[in-house]
């Protein structure tokens, strides 16, 4: 046997190199050298996914020459896949270009398997695209009397021959359609394979795109993100009020509803399934797809939302010892789950950490990855319920604290959701005790424009207001109104409790003054006290005084004023430059798990690794809680906001901007 001629092939940007036999294709070379090159059609010059570029004239200094001429000539069929620019620039399809000399080949981003997209967050982070599904285009010869092999064996044979796939299964419902789809498509189909083992979709001809849906089911809001599973891009977003709110505003109310009504669970379950179907229909419609084009779903939510959406009674997560039905992540077929998308699509539900720390918190973990950090992170996910994570590479704790809905503007005299007309910023002159405010939907401060009219105060407005009242001395560290101060804005309600007027009747659209009452301050104290005590319990467990960084997750975290939140002691003292707001980290985590199947394993592992701290059995908790009710704290020191709280020198002008600013 004559020795075969070999040529040097180098792939960029990976730098993989090796000697490859003359006549092999670039795709074959890529396999030999371990370079992942995209292909759907199985090297049949049909999909055009394996585009590469030959870099000419390189390493001549090394005596090696790379030339387009070192490959087999380009054919008409191949040329069609390139535009004029690409044709001039040495582009080829790796599946047909044969190697006849040394070549340096550049693999463009779009031809790489495992492309990355960049997620914008506190620290930018890249997500590797590795979805649970992959598409394969296969062409089969139809059966004959000499070769009457069954359709299914014909298809699995083609998948094994073309792509090396073995042990593939198919769901019963799809098997029933196999005969027809193969004959309608002349035995040329694109199959979508889930986790390399199950065919979940068969489409006629070559179809490239695949879409998945990530949904964060909050107690109050449901947000869905439709993603291109090839590029990772979010192609459509929809959010809606959680339709379960009519059965109760918070988690405990809904659990109670399920306990008190025989059909309570069933009703709430149906309601959220309908909600999810509405989201699926709307995001699909936005980009002119059908809901059945959604081939994979990832869901997160707190443990109660998790149980209810699965149709599992939430009773026992509402009662001590708060044991959930399951911790592990789940994969459920869309048809079994009741989702009106592709029936064979997989619905992945992230795991549960504990009775009150659900898949949404696991989503936060995935998004923020404290377990990959050296710094000790305190991650606060502020929603109707507060979940806290404290940890780093070495240790990982979580806890849940009953903050109540005060941070969301509920159970507050003039509280409202963060919607147009809500006061979101408040400033109080330390000397005059005069108030100025800004409302959502209007860029100016009330002292600048008389057109700024308020309807109520949202969560971030309350934080601002109470912090400014503290700074101006209107309330004391204990939260009590200072009776020594006199101002026309300070007065008593009908039932005798003190209140502070933020907006006068003429500045509102509700025909009455908007105030912050003693009770409102108490609600904030209870909420922040619980949260702080939770952080404290975890810090004590790790023998630490304070975290290195504080991450505020949740939409609310994005809008509060970090300095004023710290002034109230929402979290332990910390440099303001080390406090980050990251938005809907739970939703980000759901998206990450949708786009990268390995992250689901990571989620499963981390959810079991994180140690849940049950505050109700912590003997120090009551004392911690009582001390943390003070602003910012009864005993702990807050050097980073000492200057701010001193409130004597700085003019209001310094803190209250004159002009328009961005709302939000």
**Interface residue with a copy of itself, options 60, 83, 153, 494 (CB under 8 A):** 153
* Residue 27 vs residues 20, 31, 97, 114, 597: alpha-carbon distances, Å: 11, 6, 8, 16, 25
Q: Which is nearer to a copy of itself, 475 or 607 (CB)?
A: 607
Distance of CA 263 to the CA centre of its chain: 32
Q: Provide the 10 A C-beta neighbour count for residue 61.
A: 6
Contact set for a copy of itself, span 115-144 (CB under 8 A): 143-144
Residue 106 binds a copy of itself, judged by CB under 8 A: no
Q: Which is nearer to a copy of itself, 321 or 575 (CB)?
A: 321
Point out which span in 78-86, 348-356, 448-456, 640-648 binds a copy of itself (CB under 8 A).
348-356
Site string for a copy of itself, 625-664 (x = CB under 8 A): ----------------------------------------
**Interface residue with a copy of itself, options 4, 118, 126, 175 (CB under 8 A):** 175
**Interface residue with a copy of itself, options 38, 151, 296, 573 (CB under 8 A):** 151
Q: How far apart are CA 46 and CA 137, in angstroms?
A: 9
DSSP state of 287: T
Q: Which is nearer to a copy of itself, 147 or 374 (CB)?
A: 147
Is the separation of the CB atoms in 581 and 558 below 8 Å? yes
Strand partners, 583: 553
**Interface residue with a copy of itself, options 1, 62, 484, 617 (CB under 8 A):** 617
Point out which span in 60-68, 122-130, 228-236, 331-339 binds a copy of itself (CB under 8 A).
331-339
Helix, strand, or coil (residue 174): helix
Q: How far apart are CA 129 and CA 131, in angstroms?
A: 6
Q: How far apart are CA 271 and CA 245, in angstroms?
A: 10
Shortest Å distance, C-beta 590 to a copy of itself: 20
Helix, strand, or coil (residue 488): coil
Shortest Å distance, C-beta 171 to a copy of itself: 9
Shortest Å distance, C-beta 198 to a copy of itself: 13
**Interface residue with a copy of itself, options 123, 166, 173, 651 (CB under 8 A):** 173
Q: Which is nearer to a copy of itself, 236 or 299 (CB)?
A: 299
Contact set for a copy of itself, span 9-28 (CB under 8 A): none
Q: How far apart are CA 516 and CA 423, in angstroms?
A: 12
Distance of CA 38 to the CA centre of its chain: 27
Residue 327 binds a copy of itself, judged by CB under 8 A: yes
**Interface residue with a copy of itself, options 87, 256, 325, 497 (CB under 8 A):** 325
**Interface residue with a copy of itself, options 264, 355, 358, 587 (CB under 8 A):** 355
Length of the chain: 664
Strand partners, 398: 389, 612
Question: How many positions of this chain bind a copy of itself (CB under 8 A)?
Answer: 46
DSSP state of 265: H
* Residue 358 vs residues 175, 327, 386, 397: alpha-carbon distances, Å: 36, 9, 11, 14
**Interface residue with a copy of itself, options 74, 281, 312, 340 (CB under 8 A):** 312
Residue among 559, 578, 557 at smallest CA distance from 377: 578
Is the separation of the CB atoms in 388 and 368 below 8 Å? no
Residue 262 binds a copy of itself, judged by CB under 8 A: no
Site string for a copy of itself, 270-309 (x = CB under 8 A): ----------------------------------------
Sheet holding 169-170, edge to edge: 133-139, 188-194, 198-204, 169-170
Torsion over CA of 118, 373, 300 and 284, rounded to 10 degrees?
0
Q: How far apart are CA 641 and CA 431, in angstroms?
A: 19
**Interface residue with a copy of itself, options 4, 241, 285, 323 (CB under 8 A):** 323
Q: Which is nearer to a copy of itself, 38 or 296 (CB)?
A: 296
Q: How far apart are CA 66 and CA 535, in angstroms?
A: 61
- Preceding omega of 204 cis (within 30 degrees of 0): no
Torsion over CA of 446, 447, 448 and 452, rounded to 10 degrees?
20
Shortest Å distance, C-beta 602 to a copy of itself: 18
Q: Which is nearer to a copy of itself, 313 or 395 (CB)?
A: 313
Shortest Å distance, C-beta 635 to a copy of itself: 28
Is the separation of the CB atoms in 237 and 223 below 8 Å? yes
Residue 514 binds a copy of itself, judged by CB under 8 A: no
Q: Which is nearer to a copy of itself, 282 or 327 (CB)?
A: 327
Q: Which is nearer to a copy of itself, 71 or 399 (CB)?
A: 399
Helix, strand, or coil (residue 9): strand
**Interface residue with a copy of itself, options 62, 145, 260, 484 (CB under 8 A):** 145
Distance of CA 573 to the CA centre of its chain: 27
**Interface residue with a copy of itself, options 147, 167, 577, 662 (CB under 8 A):** 147
Helix, strand, or coil (residue 226): strand
**Interface residue with a copy of itself, options 162, 264, 324, 547 (CB under 8 A):** 324
Shortest Å distance, C-beta 289 to a copy of itself: 26
E strands present in 218-265: 221-228, 234-241
Residue 310 binds a copy of itself, judged by CB under 8 A: yes
Q: Which is nearer to a copy of itself, 310 or 535 (CB)?
A: 310
Is the separation of the CB atoms in 424 and 414 below 8 Å? no
Contact set for a copy of itself, span 595-614 (CB under 8 A): 612, 614
Q: Which is nearer to a copy of itself, 52 or 606 (CB)?
A: 606
Shortest Å distance, C-beta 156 to a copy of itself: 8
Q: How far apart are CA 440 and CA 453, in angstroms?
A: 10
Q: How far apart are CA 264 and CA 29, in angstroms?
A: 61
**Interface residue with a copy of itself, options 23, 34, 150, 575 (CB under 8 A):** 150
Q: List contacts with a copy of itself (CB under 8 A).
A: 143-154, 172-173, 175-176, 178-180, 310-313, 315-316, 320-328, 330, 332-333, 336-337, 352, 354-355, 612, 614, 616-617
């Amino acid at each position: 046997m004559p020795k075969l001629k070999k040529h040097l092939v180098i792939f960029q940007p990976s730098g993989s190199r090796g000697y490859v036999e003359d006549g092999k294709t670039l795709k074959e070379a890529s396999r030999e050298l371990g370079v992942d090159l995209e292909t759907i059609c199985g090297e049949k010059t049909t999909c055009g996914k394996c585009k590469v570029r030959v870099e000419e004239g390189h390493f001549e200094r090394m005596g090696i020459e790379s030339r387009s001429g070192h490959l087999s000539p380009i054919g008409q069929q191949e040329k069609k896949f390139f535009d004029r620019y690409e044709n001039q620039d040495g582009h080829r399809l790796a599946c047909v270009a044969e190697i006849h000399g040394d070549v340096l080949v550049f693999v463009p981003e779009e031809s790489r398997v495992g492309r990355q997209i960049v997620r914008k967050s506190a620290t930018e982070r890249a997500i590797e695209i590795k979805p649970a599904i992959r598409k394969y285009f296969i062409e089969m010869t139809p059966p004959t009397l000499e070769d009457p092999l069954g359709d299914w064996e014909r298809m699995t044979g083609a998948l094994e021959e073309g792509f090396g796939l073995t042990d593939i299964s198919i769901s019963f419902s799809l098997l029933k359609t196999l005969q027809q789809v193969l004959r309608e498509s002349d035995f040329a189909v694109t199959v979508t394979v889930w986790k390399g083992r199950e065919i979940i979709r068969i489409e006629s001809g070559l179809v490239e795109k695949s879409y998945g849906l990530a949904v964060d089911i909050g107690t109050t809001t449901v947000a869905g993100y439709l993603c291109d599973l090839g590029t990772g891009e979010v192609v459509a977003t929809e959010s809606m009020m959680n339709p379960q709110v009519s059965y109760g505003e918070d988690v405990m109310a809904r659990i109670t509803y399920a306990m008190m009504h025989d059909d309570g669970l069933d009703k709430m379950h149906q309601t959220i399934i309908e909600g999810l179907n509405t989201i699926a229909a709307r995001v699909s419609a936005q980009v002119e797809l059908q809901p059945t084009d959604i081939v994979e779903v990832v869901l997160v939510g707190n443990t109660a939302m998790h149980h209810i959406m699965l149709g599992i009674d939430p009773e026992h997560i509402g009662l001590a010892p708060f044991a959930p039905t399951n911790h592990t992540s789940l994969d459920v077929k869309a048809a079994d789950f009741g989702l009106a998308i592709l029936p064979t699509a997989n619905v992945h539900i992230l795991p549960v950490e504990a009775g009150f720390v659900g898949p949404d918190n696991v989503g936060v973990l995935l998004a923020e990855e404290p377990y990959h950090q050296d710094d000790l992170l305190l991650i606060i996910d502020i929603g109707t319920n507060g979940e806290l994570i404290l940890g780093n590479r070495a240790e990982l704790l979580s806890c849940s604290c009953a903050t109540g809905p005060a941070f969301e503007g509920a159970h507050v005299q003039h509280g409202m959701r963060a919607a147009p007309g809500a006061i979101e910023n408040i400033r109080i002159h330390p000397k005059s005790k005069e108030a100025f405010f800004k409302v959502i939907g209007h860029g100016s401060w009330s002292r600048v424009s008389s057109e700024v009219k308020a309807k109520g105060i949202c969560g971030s407005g309350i934080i601002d207001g109470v912090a400014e009242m503290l700074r101006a001395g209107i309330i004391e560290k204990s939260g009590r109104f200072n009776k020594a101060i006199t101002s026309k804005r300070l007065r008593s309600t009908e039932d005798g409790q003190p209140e502070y007027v933020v907006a006068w009747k003429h500045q509102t659209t509700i025909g009455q003054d908007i105030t912050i009452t003693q009770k409102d301050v108490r609600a904030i104290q209870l909420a922040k006290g619980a949260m702080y005590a939770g952080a404290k319990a975890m810090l004590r467990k790790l023998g630490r005084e304070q975290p290195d960084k504080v991450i505020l997750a949740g939409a609310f975290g994005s809008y509060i004023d970090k300095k004023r939140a710290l002034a109230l002691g929402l979290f332990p003292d910390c440099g303001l430059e080390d406090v980050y707001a990251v938005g809907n980290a739970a939703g980000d985590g759901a998206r990450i798990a949708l786009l990268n199947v390995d992250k689901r394993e990571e989620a499963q592992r981390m959810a079991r690794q994180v140690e849940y701290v049950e505050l109700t059995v912590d003997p120090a908790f009551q004392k911690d809680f009582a001390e943390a009710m003070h602003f910012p704290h009864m005993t702990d020191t807050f050097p980073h906001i000492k200057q701010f709280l001193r409130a004597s020198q700085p003019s209001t002008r310094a803190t209250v901007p004159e002009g328009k600013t961005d709302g939000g």
